Chain A
Amino acid sequence: MVLAKQVPDPETPPSQFKIDESTNSVVPPNGVPPVVNGFDLNAVEAALLLRDAGADVEITVLSVGTDFVMDSMKKTLAMGADRLVLVDDDGLDKIDSAATVKVLATVIEKDGAFDLVLGGRQASDWDQAHVPLGLAEVLGLPLVSLVQKLELTDNGITVQRVITDGYQEITAPIPAVLTVTNELGEPRYPNLRGIMQASRKKPEVFSLADLGLSSGDLAPKLKLTKLYVPESNQQVELIEGENEADSGKKLALRLREEKLI
């Protein structure tokens, strides 16, 4: 099970980033489609590496949200995942991470047996790094975060967990929940065959009602009162010399004057 989230493209230029303060939500930029959260593609890659290493794995990508852009979400299938399961419901528009965890736990338990739940290190929209962590608590499973390398063993897993100055080797039983970090390596680009296969696959789509949940079960504990773009009070001091080389020299002197270098 790989958890994936659709997010606004983080490469969107800041000039196109707009907020509608009357609804406290981001205005989708024109012509820039949403993407799968980059760290979640690391998690897909981790699952594919297990398959490359010879393990017989079935990879299910699971996402919770609304207004899915199928071309973006199907990238995970084109990379090599077997199934795409979407919980798509208008009631999921502004849910918090606790509600996300509740929906994910319900669909994972309903979907049947699994050995690993893999998630990205964090999401690039609300930066909440804790959906997989919460899922481990709710499902009562072992959790290892920031995994850069992963191996299946006879009775569980051995992983490398990134720490400040290196890594820890950790063993844990399965089923387990892991968050994968970008040190694992770049997610592979889908090849043509993968893209063709993905185009024929249909995502399995559920609504909240299909899962026996209602939006009342998902009320947020935190109430969003304001979403706004902070005013930058930074005023740049442009250094201008007689020519560009002189500007370089003057810049060095100015930084020394400020005791910055």
Chain B
Amino acid sequence: MTSILLIGESDEHGEVSQSTLQAVAAAKSLSEPNITVTFSGDAPASASSLSVDSIVSISAVSNSDDGIYEQSTAEIASLVTSNNPDVVLLSKSDFGSLVGARLAFRSDLSFAADCTELSNENGALVVTRPVYGGSALAEFIVASTPAVVTLRAGAYEPSTETGSPAIESIEPQSIEQFAYVTDTVAETRDGVRLEDAGVVVSGGRGLGGPEPFSVLKDLANALDGAVGASRAACDAGWIDHSHQVGLTGKSVSPDVYIAVGISGASQHMAGCSSSRAIVAINKDADSNIFKEARFGVVGDWEKVLPSFLASVRELKA
């Protein structure tokens, strides 16, 4: 049997988050799983039909307690001590990454972050994770338990099975808190957020200057999308760094990622490789981007893009 303590999260609608449903699917792929899902704060109503063994709510702790999750970490650390699971599974969200690392180091546990695959081999847990910006995969055997594992978004299809778990609620303990959030400031942005966009139109070194980004912006507008850029284009000052996609920029996973004049260096691909479909427009047929793309046009963007934009507008009209 594999006992799993899964750290659940709710989304902005108060439902069990998609990333937590993915983690449930990952947990269920292990041998004879016994799954407990715990929520910092009250469990969402939809948790009561998850296909797991039990649900534990740590009442009165908000999921965003102090912005750095000191309270949640302390609560989950006590649960790990009392339950002694084989695997503590979290999503690689802001919350999961931070709490996962803190838990592992606080209690000197094995830690595997950002995993894309979990399995059992001869009774031991085996994990796979991308390294070097996705250029390589590393496979590890986890020798000691409990092991803390964070799971990359999209690595598993969300679990759709239903069940009737036992439901329990525990009272939070009091802890010494170090840091306090004194204010939360919302920043408004023009148009669709790059990270949320269903379509991203990105430009790179091949554009040759700042002006072509206005064509990219027109195309993004026509597709209700957002504009991205490679590091080379940002470093050249053609567009603000807030548009940068890649290892040292933003990670995006739109339905369509249109790469214009981008060679596809691994540092860039690390930020867009989980897109549903990559579309490449580049005049160099040997560019790495064509190895990653589903659709491509080998040609000069100055000639390809205007007719592409015109056709998109016609189709959208």
Decide: B141 and A170 in contact? CB cutoff 8 A. Answer: no
Q: Give the secondary structure class of A's interface.
A: mixed
- Can you report 28 A-B residue pairs in the complex whose CB atoms are below 8 A from each other? A8-B132, A10-B248, A12-B266, A13-B288, A26-B132, A124-B248, A130-B105, A133-B98, A144-B179, A146-B94, A165-B187, A169-B181, A169-B182, A172-B180, A221-B111, A222-B140, A224-B138, A225-B126, A225-B140, A226-B139, A230-B136, A234-B294, A236-B280, A244-B299, A251-B297, A252-B311, A253-B315, A261-B256
Q: Which residue of B lies closest to A135 (CB)?
A: B105
B112 and A15 contact, CB distance less than 8 A: no
- B239: min CB distance to chain A, Å: 14
Tell me how far the C-beta of B280 lies from the nearest C-beta in chain A, rounded to whole angstroms.
7
Considering only residues 137-196 of chain B, those with a C-beta below 8 Å from chain A are 137-144, 178-187, 195
B105–A244 contact, CB under 8 A? no
Query: In the bound complex, what is the Cα–Cα distance between A186 and B105 (angstroms)?
Result: 31
Q: Is the pair A137, B312 in contact by a Cβ cutoff of 8 Å? A: no
Asked if B236 is at the interface of the complex by the 8 Å CB criterion, the answer is no
Does B114 make an interface contact (CB < 8 A)?
yes
Q: What is the CB-to-nearest-CB distance from A238 to chain B, in angstroms, rounded to a whole number?
A: 5
B266 to chain A, nearest CB (A): 5
- What residue in chain B is nearest A128 (Cβ atoms)? B113
CA distance A12 to B101 in the complex (A): 29
CA–CA, A217 and B316, complex, Å: 63
Are A10 and B267 touching (Cβ within 8 A)? yes
Among listed B16-24, B28-36, B82-90, B300-308, interface-contacting one = B300-308
Contact check, A222 vs B187: say whether CB atoms are below 8 A apart: no
The CA-CA distance from A145 to B305 in the complex, in Å, is: 41
| Total number of B residues with any Cβ neighbor in A under 8 Å | 89
Least CB distance from B230 to A in Å reads 11
Q: Is the CB of A227 within 8 A of B292?
A: no
- Give the A interface residue count (CB, 8 A): 85
On whether the beta carbons of B291 and A236 are closer than 8 Å, the reply is: yes
Residues on B with beta carbons closer than 8 Å to the beta carbon of A173: 178
Contacts of A249 on B, CB cut-off 8 Å?
A: 307-308, 310-311
Let me know if A251 and B185 touch, CB within 8 A.
Answer: no
**Is the Cβ of B311 less than 8 Å from the Cβ of A248?**
yes
CA–CA, A138 to B106, complex, Å?
Answer: 7
Q: Enumerate chain B interface residues (CB-CB to A < 8 A).
A: 67-68, 94, 97-98, 100-102, 104-106, 108-114, 126-127, 129-133, 135-144, 178-187, 195, 199, 223, 231, 241, 247-249, 255-256, 264-267, 269, 276-277, 279-281, 288, 290-300, 303-312, 315-316
User: Given the known A-B contacts A144-B68, A166-B185, A224-B139, are A261 and B312 also in contact in the complex, defined by CB atoms under 8 Å?
Assistant: yes
| Inter-chain contacts of B185 with A (CB < 8 A) | 160, 166-169
Chain B residues contacting A182 (CB-CB under 8 Å) are 241, 248-249
Least CB distance from A19 to B in Å reads 6
Asked if B306 and A186 make an inter-chain contact with CB atoms under 8 angstroms apart, the answer reads no
Q: Are A223 and B141 in contact (CB under 8 A)?
A: yes
What is the CA–CA distance of A260 and B267 in the complex, to the nearest angstrom? Answer: 25
A252 touches B295 (CB 8 A): no
Main secondary structure of the interface of B (DSSP, over half): mixed
In the complex, chain A residues 207-243 whose Cβ is within 8 Å of any chain B Cβ: 221-230, 232, 234, 236-240, 243
Residues of B within 8 A of A158 (CB): 182
Is the beta-carbon distance between B292 and A234 smaller than 8 angstroms?
Answer: yes
Task: Assess the A223–B143 pair: CB atoms within 8 A.
Answer: yes
Residue with the greatest number of chain A CB neighbours at <10 A, chosen from B108, B136, B223: B136
Q: A137 and B105 in contact (CB under 8 A), knowing A142-B178, A221-B110?
A: yes
Provide the bound-state CA to CA distance between A258 and B185, in Å: 40
| Contacts known (A127-B130, A222-B112); A256 close to B315, Cβ less than 8 A | yes
Residues A126 and B131 in contact, CB atoms below 8 Å apart: yes
CA distance A186 to B199 in the complex (A): 27
Instruction: State whether B68 touches A234 (Cβ < 8 A).
Output: no
Report yes or no: B292 in contact with A261, Cβ–Cβ below 8 A: no
B296 in contact with A237 (CB, 8 Å): yes
A243 to B269, CA, bound (A): 29
Looking across the interface, which residue of chain A has its beta carbon closest to that of B223? A261
- A161 to B67, Cβ gap below 8 A? yes
Contact B136 A163 (CB under 8 A): no
A172-B178, A173-B178, A225-B139 known; A248+B265 contact, CB < 8 A: no
A127–B105 touching, CB < 8 Å: no
